[in-house]
Structure 1
Amino acid sequence: MVTATMAEVEMSMHTAKSDHLVIDIQRRLTAFQEYTNADPPQYSIYRIPSHIRKNNEYYYEPRMVSIGPYHRNKEHLCAMEVHKLRYLGKLCNQKDGILRDFIGEIRNAEADIRACYCESVDLEEGDQFVEMMLVDGCFIIKLFFNWLFNEPDAACDAGWALPLLISDLLMLENQIPFFVLTKIYNIYTFGCVDPPSDAHGDYRPSFLTLAADILHETCKTNVERAKVPEAGVAIKHLLHLFYLLFVPAPEYALTPRQINVKIKGKESRTNCLPLLQKRNRREFAGSSKFSEKIESPRVIKSAIELKEYGVILKKKEKFASFLDISFERGILEVPRITIEGCSRSRLLNLIAFEQCSGGADVDPIKKPLSSYAVFMACLMNMSQDVIVLEKAGILENNLANSEEGAKFFHQVRECAHIDFDNHYLKQVFVEVVEYCEAFWPKHRARLRHEYFSSPWTISSLMVAMLVLIMAIFHTIGFILTTFLKKY
């Protein structure tokens, strides 16, 4: 009886533990079900994947100032925290009660702000998070005001400081939502979060206009910027605004560009975008047998190799954007581009943003910058390719040497993943590969590679030709002598 009683007790305890486990799992499943039934979060501020960060960590982490939670409290960024508080004081001391207005609006939007970050923000609910958004947002606004009114600024007076600060503000992991900046700016400038449309005078631009002008002027890019996005466009953060200003949408990039496409043996001028949408693969690549076999090339020849195949590399004079690349009748036209140290960080972060912004349901053609990086990495395979592009006027290399220039786009290309079956430069890839596989360009390249690759091979060929000519003349002379003796 005692043994049976003990067994019952053990079973009862086991059942009770099991019930607690069941209840706990059911509670978690219920919470998860409620989460999945809710609207999916719209992330806009991402972390760089570790395998991409490993080789390029220097270009993804801020060097002077931390904005947002991802790099908060890092030792080498602590010095700028003093300047942040000084900027906050200057903004708040100019108007009574404005600090309370700032904090109230950020508190009201706290849930929406947190939802912008793909990783859980490692700050407690409430004051810490709100304080961070307030301090970082006011720092950016005051920094822009200093630039707008040309005010002396201890943080930016050094010649290297402002470029580094702007570079930090254009890193994917170093962002706060754009609507936070807009709220702070509007409260300070117009006295309310949503000013009427007629409140924007010449001396009081909207924050969107101010930010666009500053990014254009301080980044010193030779790429012509696009129009400032309309007020209704949902801008996620400063990096997103920079992307909209300098990386045109595929329709904008492709509408002016016309390329020759062979369809059923006839040439017709058409636009690449409708082809991607309407044509099947065989029509898109062309009707030749080669195009049927090679529909989606992954690479094209480098610049120096293309010259061996007879391709003419030419700087494009009239173009809609730096993405406006075309190939026609053996001529590859590419708009001029400048590469320098600061360009690398911007391109890497722009491409990282472009990669994170897509998804399985997004048309891969909407990643034009990634496609462009892959194309340029193919052209610039070695230092000799950089020299060829410089001579053609396509490239201005402001890096240390041609070797560094060759590494530039290969480093950028590491995080540029594209769908080779469907990207905006696919037709250029197809036509270049098809041209190089044609009979004469292929054999021309073989002749140049085997017989004209060095002075020694050229000398050997010349000697062989001279010997051949002498042999021919000797043979002709022998025949004529024999004929004259006979008659």
Structure 2
Amino acid sequence: MALGDNDNHQSPERVVEIKNCLDGGLAPDAKSPWTIGKVPGKWSRVHDSAFHGEMVDIGPFDIYYYRERSHIHRPSFHSDLPVGRDLKMRFLLRLLGGKLERRGRDGDVSRTTEGQRASDGCERDEHDDGGRMAMLLDDLAEAMQILEQKTRACYSESFDDRSSEEFVEMMVVDGCFVVELLRLYHRRFNPQSPGVATEYDPIFTNPRTLTALRRDLLLLENQLPFFVLEKLYELINKKNEIDHQHAVPLEVLAVTFFDPLLPQHNAASKLDTNKPKAHLLDVFRSTFVKSVSEKVLKKGKSEVESRLNPNGSMRGLVRHFASELQEVGMQFKKRKGHDLLDIEFDHNTLRVPQLSINDNTISLLLNFVAYEMSAEHPEPFFTNYLMFWDSLVNSPGDIQIFRKHGIINHLGSENEVAELFMKCRELIYDLDYDLDLGYLYNEIKEVNEYCEQYYESKYSVWWRSLIRERFSSPWTCLSLFAVIILLLLTLLQTFYTVYAYYRPH
């Protein structure tokens, strides 16, 4: 029987639900790649707080959200909830105008379809601020309901124990907080913005709070799919009477907000806004990999594959630590004006962009690696980058060399930084990663070849010197031969003397 044959028995709500499922895309158990997942627990041993939020949790992995669920119209900020709940609700209430006129009887977020809103339009004056804000909440919730199944499919877990209402509410509350934070920050701090934001929030005057938020919003477990944020951004622009087509792209807002965490020159210009992004972590990562991606494309994949080591030895790592490289005459220089990953080896000089090491940058690098290991087709640039550093550092002395040349900038001791890199070694070798396919393949290969040539040249010079000094004439050769024979006879005589003494009678 066709679906339309039973229209008279089909409720409008059910039709809307089916349409929403179809529009939402794949079901969460469909065989589709996920881009947001839990980080293995043993990875936390590398750095205690690298994968855990300090101020705010975003997304369905937020256990506090489900254990102590607070409602939009009556937030219950208990002492055991993270501070982030207060921030989220404050931003959402500001977005909605600070008041709501329509709430469900159970206190849940009101979600109605456009048809339902039209049918009861007489009950509400749409020119009234409270009514328009309630309509916006309806629009936000309805849009998230349509995207619910597609959103669930982006996570490594299905969250079957989370009801549709809980999941959609999470998307609205968390997504609106993220979008409003990026939007207001850009308006307040971007020098090219026409004026500053009229909306005031104390977090914008506290650098430490902003740093903690940047770090938390770039944790892999704290991600929402980027298409969720884009849809919310579109609806918020509509509410603010901003032409979405001419608004500042959300990706630019994100990079502007996150750039102080690991500054780079004109980061927004390195975005490819035509390429879909998985989430905010993917957006920020893309600004670092653009230049090296272009390098890899120029080399061509076939060229890299043709150089794979047939015997399976680990050519993808530098075989000598920094202190050993320095002993063989290699020089280290800070590479200025280049992106973090853009490392170069030229003749006997390794040029490396400066890396500032602190708790926030280490957390960011490790979450980049975690994302690269979870996605189906990522280029493992940061994984290769971390492998490069791991293969160069084995002691505080190695860190001291890089600090002396301005390549590594850190607040802690050399010993602490060296231990951190050596802990990363456990994480790296736990990965199923082909070392020969890294973007630093050529640079690492050239460093290793330089060392091999040095040692070959050193031993060659020593051997030639020995031949020249000791075997320059036949008489010298005969003298050396006589000395060797005499030494052997002496050893033989000593052996028989000792043997006769200890020989049993």
TM-score normalised per structure 1:
0.69
Whole-angstrom CA distance in 1 between matches of 2:454 and 2:300: 26
Change (3 A) 1:141 1:191: same
* 1:330 CA displacement: 2.5
1:435 aligns with one of 433, 440, 450: 450
1:66 aligns with one of 57, 67, 71: 57
Match of 1:375 in 2: 388
Change (3 A) 1:387 1:157: same
Whole-angstrom CA distance in 1 between matches of 2:156 and 2:38: 7
1:140 maps to 2:178: yes
Contact 2:46/2:420 (8 A) holds in 1: no
Match of 1:88 in 2: 92
Match of 1:474 in 2: none
* 1:410 CA displacement: 3.3
1:389 maps to 2:402: yes
Match of 1:215 in 2: 258
Match of 1:174 in 2: 222
Contact 1:304/1:388 (8 A) holds in 2: yes
Whole-angstrom CA distance in 2 between matches of 1:330 and 1:272: 26
* 1:105-120 to 2 correspondences below 5 Å: 105-120=143-158
* 1:328 CA displacement: 3.5
Match of 1:42 in 2: 33
Change (3 A) 1:55 1:243: same
* 1:157 CA displacement: 3.7
Whole-angstrom CA distance in 2 between matches of 1:164 and 1:224: 22
Paired residue type of 2:441: K
Match of 1:316 in 2: 335
Contact 1:315/1:333 (8 A) holds in 2: yes
SS at match of 1:314: strand
* 1:155 CA displacement: 4.2
1:56 aligns with one of 47, 52, 60: 47
Contact 1:386/1:402 (8 A) holds in 2: yes
TM-score normalised per structure 2:
0.66
Contact 1:281/1:295 (8 A) holds in 2: no
Whole-angstrom CA distance in 1 between matches of 2:320 and 2:268: 31
How well do the aligned residues superpose, as a CA RMSD in angstroms?
3.3
Whole-angstrom CA distance in 2 between matches of 1:158 and 1:171: 21
SS at match of 1:227: helix
Match of 1:276 in 2: 304
Match of 2:419 in 1: 407
Change (3 A) 1:127 1:387: same
Contact 2:175/2:228 (8 A) holds in 1: yes
1:127 maps to 2:165: yes
Whole-angstrom CA distance in 2 between matches of 1:280 and 1:79: 52
Whole-angstrom CA distance in 1 between matches of 2:448 and 2:273: 43
Where does the alignment leave 5 or more consecutive residues of structure 2 unmatched? 1-25, 66-78, 98-128, 189-198, 463-505
* 1:168 CA displacement: 0.4
Change (3 A) 1:189 1:358: same
Whole-angstrom CA distance in 2 between matches of 1:118 and 1:91: 31
Count of residues paired in the alignment: 376
Deviations 1:25-62 (A, max 9, x none): xxxxxxxxxx99x9622311111112323443411011
Paired residue type of 1:436: C
SS at match of 1:396: strand
Contact 1:69/1:122 (8 A) holds in 2: no
Paired residue type of 1:312: Q
Paired residue type of 1:422: L
Contact 1:371/1:425 (8 A) holds in 2: yes
